[in-house]
Amino acid sequence: MSPSEVVSAFIGHLNAMQLEEAFALLDPGIVYHNIPMSPVTGPAAVAAVFAQIPMTAMDWETHAMAETGGTVLTERTDRFTLRDGRQVSLRVMGAFEVEGGRITRWRDYFDLNQWLSQMAPRG
């Protein structure tokens, strides 16, 4: 698979909530930096980040994708359905580095305040 195909497959698995299959596309030494948070290393640490989101579904819409060498850039809208039924939507710019058919580095850039304001408890 080309780097773009690896990233597309990864996002496809996330959208189908096939997290085990998605995380199988991550290199054992992956560094995931969900900027502006601190980076984490390894598939288990990436899974722990996702486990913190109280979601029942994901829908990551890719608006644009560009590949150069082993780097894939994505412009996306990431949507999450939370357990309480709320929808969270976030514009994201992602950079994935792919080697040997696995994602070795992944950086997502987004507006943290937009995320926090949507995740705040309603009441």
Region of 109 (left: φ > 0; alpha: ψ -120 to 50; beta: rest) is beta
3-state secondary structure of 106: strand
pTM of the model: 0.94
pLDDT number for residue 84: 92
**Domains of the chain by residue range:** 3-119
Q: Looking at the domain 3-119, which fold is it?
A: Nuclear Transport Factor 2; Chain: A, (3.10.450)
Of the candidates 99, 77, 79, the one whose C-alpha atom is nearest the C-alpha of residue 31 is: 99
Q: What is the pLDDT of residue 122?
A: 72
> Mean pLDDT over residues 75-90, rounded?
95
- Residues annotated catalytic, as ranges: 78, 108
pLDDT at 120: 85
In the numeric block, the tokens 């696995």 are attached to 102
User: pLDDT tens, 20-56?
Assistant: 999 999 999 999 999 989 999 999 999 999 999 999 9
Let me know the angle formed at the C-alpha of 51 by 34 and 119, rounded to the nearest 5 degrees.
70
Tokens found for residue 105? 């580095």
Confidence of residue 123 (pLDDT cuts 50, 70, 90): low
